[in-house]
A and B are shown apart, each in its own frame.
Chain A
Amino acid sequence: MENFHPFVLPFVLGAYALFAVCIYKFVRWIRQFDRFQRAVIRKNIFTRKFLPAVWEMFKECLLHLRITKKNWRLGYMHRSIAFGWFLLIVVGAIESRIGTPKNFHFWVAIFYRYFHQTPPETQTALIFTHIMDALLLYVLSGVTLALVKKIHSRILGMHRATKHTLMDNTIRISLWCIFPLRLLSESVSACLYHNGGFLTQTIGDLFSPYVAQILELPFWTLYSIALCLFFVLLPFSRYMHIFTEIFLIYFRKLGVKERVKMTGYTKFELSACSRCGMCIDRCPLYKDLGIMEVQSVYLLRNLRNLEHHKDIVEAGKNCLMCNQCAEDCPVDIDLMSIRRISRDKGELDTDGNYQYLHKVKAFNAIGRVAYFGGCMSQLTPAISSSMERIFQAVGQKYWYMDRDRSICCGRPLAQQGFNKQAAELRRKNTELIHSSGATALITSCPICYNAFKNEYQLSIPVYHHTEYLNHLLQTGKLKVNKSDLKVTYHDPCELGRGCGIYDEPRNVLQAVAVLMGTENDRENSLCCGMNLGNTVITLEQQMTIRDKALDNLTAPDPDVVVTACPMCKRAFQHGGTPVRVMDIAEVVANSTAKG
């Protein structure tokens, strides 16, 4: 048989095995989609969402633009291996197709320099040879960086790299071996047949033909075996992300979202995690408390392998749900939803717990706005009384829903995996709000705001009070006096990273005071430590996280630290800082123009 040698067998069998396992896994996961997700796919599959999906696949799977934006060195490393290898395959396929008029098999493209034992005859062939060498050099530069990262991750700007399992380390070694082995094999072939480019020919000329004759087959065989090992281990290791991410991007573009229970989509997300470890560095639990093995990368790994059942439960609970990792994730995995899935309480999540709420009746609030302070606002009455003053100042009639008795919005329950119980509270609040006839809902608590906005399906618009204040100032309904008070603003996790509200509070503050920037602003805002997501860490540990956040806020020496969350306010108030801590509503209410 022409263009065949037994050494290609490991590669060929490995490639077949890889595709068989991948197809099996993908089909199985797709069958595990629930009916809502299927409905979304059916609705959107024949729409124009395909092209943007392909564009995003190209940008993220090959060019790794999101990582590059966060850290250009890591971005270069990932891009050189992914995009470089992709080009190596594509260009190699074209080159070998042109150079092999008959008896072409797909392995010829991979081992082209072995099967094509003549120097490049045409100008085109010569250019191809040089391009292939350049691409190989590009990939090798990435592999070198990966080695550097393994030895000292800080050179590449990573404080802490992921601790990998034995499987992940084994396959990584095989990946690292592939390209140097390819270089050596092509070089010895170049020595014998003079078919190399600027790189392989130069290295090949260093060998004596006699040595090259002996080394040729062993090198090509090792190259084939390294490829085989990589292919066979791939579906069971972190490198499964290479293929999974393509599908994940497509499904996400179609509009598929996580559900409260684990579905096939969750399996895609779990496997799309490349365990790059970018979620570790800025996790407050690691950064301030040194807690390891609870970050999203570890949770996803354990969930995927379903090993260490006890660890999954423990790691799942130990998270503030501050959304920082979801912000940093280069694959944009819905980490918070997966965290909630891992916390599913099963039988403990019972129905009909809140029957005592049945007798609560709605107020007739037709023509008014509903104001929901939230449970926490009851402990920080200055916020709600300031909001009441502002409502009165602009002549807005309102209904303070939870002045005396507050029904929780359900988000704290949902965060702990009590989905049925949270749904019961959501039903009750929805019923109250809809039957009251209120025209809009304004809430002071970002936790409630996130729930009302994203978890409820209310028929009326929902505003956080920062949005409402911004609206009042923009439309000129509320007149304020600008003072020379120096303030710094704390972005609450749930409002900023959770709902993407960064500009409204800043606009408001610029209208009433002098806003100073801090080192960790906007998406990089530090958690106040009191987030209800965590039930494991102690109050002392929460206080350590809070102190770090407070240091950041008081560093520019402001007169007042302003926040927009009753929980954050309470946390900072007790932080022992001489600087005053106020909610944005209080600052605005105090600077309302009189008369």
Chain B
Amino acid sequence: MADFGFFLKKARTINLSHADMRKTEQLLNAVPSYKRCISCGGCTASCSARQFTDFNIRKAHLYFKRGQYDRLEEELQKCMLCGKCMLVCPRGVNLRSLIINMRQILSNTTEILA
């Protein structure tokens, strides 16, 4: 194809009816306040980790909700758990718990006791 100086992005289709939503349900059970999220992006705007890297917490939990787990586990490790996102969240989502739970569900671990 001739180079016109721009290209068309491949269509990105997310078919939620084919997605495996079990992990999402697990997450919503663990953090019920996440049901209130309106994806406003306040969390990303205030994020400390975001100031150094392209970590995007809104994108991360949105992808998790849709069942797209590619590279999500490594992405979530960038969080410093400082809690600023919670203080700005207009919907009172318990984001720190959300992040810990997403990581736990993705890595299939629970707390261990000595």
Contacts and interface: CB of A to CB of B under 8 A. Distances in A.
Interface of A: 261-262, 303, 306, 309, 312-313, 316, 341-348, 350, 353-354, 356-357, 360, 375-376, 378-379, 404-408, 410, 412-413, 416-418, 425, 530, 532, 535-536, 538-540, 567, 570
Given A379-B87, A417-B111, A539-B94, A350 B46 contact: no
B85 to A, nearest CB: 10
B83 interface: yes
Nearest to B103: A348
B41 to A, nearest CB: 16
A408 B82 contact: yes
A407 B78 CA distance: 12
Contact of A313 (B77, B111, B114): B111
B96 A416 contact: yes
A412 B113 contact: no
B94 A405 contact: no
Given A262-B113, A405-B52, A535-B97, 17 more contacts: A341-B114, A342-B111, A344-B112, A345-B100, A347-B109, A348-B103, A348-B109, A354-B80, A357-B52, A405-B51, A406-B48, A416-B100, A417-B111, A535-B96, A538-B33, A539-B94, A567-B87
Contact of A345 (B46, B55, B97, B111): B111
Given A356-B53, A536-B97, A539-B33, A312 B83 contact: no
Contacts of A346: 109-112
Contacts of A313: 110-111, 113
Interface size class of B (residues with CB under 8 A): 20 to 34
A449 to B, nearest CB: 15
Given A353-B78, A407-B80, A416-B96, A342 B113 contact: yes
Contact of A413 (B51, B80, B103): B80
B52 A344 contact: no
A356 B49 CA distance: 9
A538 B92 CA distance: 8
A306 B46 CA distance: 40
Contacts of A376: 82-84, 87
B88 interface: yes
A341 B113 CA distance: 8
Which residue among A309, A360, A535 has the maximum number of chain B CB atoms within 10 Å of its CB? A535
Nearest to A306: B113
Contacts of B49: 356
Contacts of B111: 313, 316, 342-346, 417
B81 interface: yes
A309 B32 CA distance: 23
Contact of A532 (B46, B51, B83, B88): B83
Which residue among B48, B52, B55, B80 has the maximum number of chain A CB atoms within 10 Å of its CB? B80
Q: Which 10 A-B pairs have the closest CB atoms?
A: A539-B92, A262-B114, A346-B112, A408-B80, A535-B97, A405-B51, A356-B53, A375-B82, A353-B77, A408-B82
A367 to B, nearest CB: 27
Contacts of B114: 261-262, 341, 344
Contacts of A570: 87
Contacts of B109: 345-348
Interface in B69-114: 77-78, 80-84, 87-88, 92, 94, 96-97, 100, 103-104, 107, 109-114
Given A343-B111, A416-B100, A375 B84 contact: yes
B92 A412 contact: no
B84 A347 contact: no
Contacts of B48: 375, 405-408
19 contacts: A303-B113, A341-B114, A347-B112, A348-B107, A354-B80, A357-B52, A360-B52, A376-B83, A379-B46, A379-B88, A405-B51, A406-B48, A408-B48, A408-B80, A408-B82, A412-B82, A412-B96, A413-B80, A539-B33
Contact of A378 (B55, B78, B84, B110): B84
Contacts of B82: 375-376, 406, 408, 412
A376 B88 CA distance: 10
Contacts of B81: 408, 412-413, 416, 418
Which residue among A350, A375, A404 has the maximum number of chain B CB atoms within 10 Å of its CB? A375
Contacts of B96: 412, 416, 532, 535
B87 A530 contact: yes
B65 to A, nearest CB: 19
A79 to B, nearest CB: 35
Contacts of A348: 100, 103-104, 107, 109
A551 to B, nearest CB: 21
B48 to A, nearest CB: 5
A535 B94 contact: yes
Nearest to B76: A353
Given A405-B52, A416-B100, A538-B33, A379 B112 contact: no
Contacts of A406: 48, 51, 82
A313 B100 CA distance: 13
B73 to A, nearest CB: 9
A356 B78 contact: yes
A412 B51 contact: no
Contacts of A417: 111
Which residue among B78, B81, B84, B100 has the maximum number of chain A CB atoms within 10 Å of its CB? B81
Given A342-B113, A354-B78, A535 B100 contact: yes
Contacts of B77: 350, 353
Contacts of A535: 94, 96-97, 100
A406 B50 CA distance: 10
Contacts of A357: 52
A348 B53 CA distance: 21
Contacts of A378: 46, 84
A588 to B, nearest CB: 24
A290 B17 CA distance: 42
B80 A425 contact: yes
Contacts of A261: 114
A413 B99 CA distance: 12
A304 B94 CA distance: 30
